């Protein structure tokens, strides 16, 4: 592990803003979800199934919100990195490709640590309340989903940061940096509303369905999760292949846009890359 990689991970994991929004704020809603909103008895096997599904929904949606909060911080980080990269790659032995890879790996590790903290807290608090250890049905699938989400959010943040630089509107970063979190809340809204086919179109909206599926082994709906959980009425099930394809397509789009914007940003004087 190189010095830059260590510093990148340390910077993200010790940022007061990221710890406040990505951990503190989300943990508050974890406690509210488990101890206030989820009044489910453990009297029957059906209730136990409902509890386990409810827990899977909790770490799916709240975990995504935590990761989106980190992506908001990444947009700032990537702006400063874009300035430092020109000096680092010019006056050290680190090549531009290696620099990008290390920045990507460091950011991904931090995003996953935040998500795993929320995941463990949901499992832990739910066990405290119901004495039910609701581990995922497919742990490997959940881990893969979290990695894919981290990759998508990293490149999403990169696109936003580079777009601000290319547009020479770096002072607008304060506003545009919240775009990943806004998208995260749009995905979060699926708990109450059904987005229909838009779930395959809006970035990140199909990720909670993939996490819920691998957590429970049950095909989740395209939205309105609370109605799906508490009602016996039939709701449209999500197409998991389209959901996975949507995530991969957005990752490809974000990577291509990042490469295009990266090329255009080379002609911008470093003095203009500032807040």
| Blockwise average pLDDT, block size 10, the chain, 275 residues | 79 88 92 88 82 92 93 79 62 69 88 94 93 89 93 91 80 83 93 91 92 92 88 81 94 91 64 51
Q: What is the pLDDT of residue 270?
A: 47
DSSP 221: B
Could you identify the residue written with the tokens 């009297």? 43
Q: How far apart are CA 108 and CA 150, in angstroms?
A: 6
Check residue 67 and give its pLDDT. 93
Smallest CA-to-CA distance from 122 within 38, 192, 206, 18 is with 38
**How many percent of the chain have pLDDT more than 70?**
89
Number of domains, the chain: 1
Q: State the pTM of this model.
A: 0.88
Under DSSP, is residue 137 helix (H, G, I), strand (E, B) or coil? coil
Task: Dig out the tokens for 56 from the structure.
Answer: 């899977």
Question: Are 68 and 153 spatial neighbours (Cβ–Cβ below 8 Å)?
Answer: yes
State residue 33's pLDDT score.
92
Contact 65, 256 (CB under 8 A): no
Which tens digits make up the pLDDT trace of 5-42?
Answer: 888 888 888 988 889 989 999 999 999 999 988 888 77
CB 97 within 8 A of CB 108: no
* Residue 15 domain boundaries: 3-272
Contact 153, 115 (CB under 8 A): no
Q: For residue 68, what pLDDT is reported?
A: 92
Contacts of 221-227 spanning 24+ positions with Cβ under 8 A: 221/194, 222/190, 222/194, 222/195, 222/196, 222/197, 223/190, 223/193, 223/194, 223/195, 223/196, 223/199, 224/190, 224/191, 224/192, 224/193, 224/194, 225/57, 225/61, 225/190, 225/191, 226/191, 226/192
Q: What confidence score (pLDDT) does residue 256 get?
A: 93
């Amino acid at each position: 592990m190189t010095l830059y990689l260590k510093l990148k991970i340390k910077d993200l994991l010790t940022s007061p803003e990221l710890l406040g929004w990505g951990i503190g704020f989300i943990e508050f809603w974890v406690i509210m979800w488990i101890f206030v909103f989820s009044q489910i008895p453990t009297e029957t096997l059906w209730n136990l199934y409902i509890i386990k599904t409810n827990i899977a929904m909790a770490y799916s949606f709240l975990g995504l919100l935590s990761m989106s909060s980190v992506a908001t911080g990444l947009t700032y980080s990537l702006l400063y990195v874009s300035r430092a990269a020109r000096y680092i790659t010019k006056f050290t032995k680190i090549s531009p490709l290696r620099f990008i890879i290390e920045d990507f790996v460091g950011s991904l590790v931090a995003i996953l640590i935040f998500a795993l903290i929320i995941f463990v807290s949901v499992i832990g608090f739910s066990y405290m309340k119901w004495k039910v250890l609701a581990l995922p049905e497919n742990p490997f699938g959940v881990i893969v989903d979290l990695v894919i989400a981290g990759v998508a959010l990293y490149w999403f943040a990169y696109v936003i940061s580079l777009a601000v630089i290319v547009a020479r509107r770096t002072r607008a970063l304060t506003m545009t940096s919240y775009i990943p979190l806004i998208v995260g809340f749009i995905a979060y809204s699926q708990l109450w509303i059904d987005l229909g086919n838009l779930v395959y179109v809006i970035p990140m909206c199909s990720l909670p369905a993939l996490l819920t599926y691998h957590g429970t082994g049950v095909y989740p709906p395209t939205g309105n999760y609370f109605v799906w959980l508490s009602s016996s009425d039939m709701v449209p099930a999500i197409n998991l292949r389209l959901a996975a394809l949507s995530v991969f397509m957005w990752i490809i789009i974000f990577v291509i846009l990042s490469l295009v914007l990266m090329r255009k940003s080379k002609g911008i004087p470093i003095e203009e890359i500032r807040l």
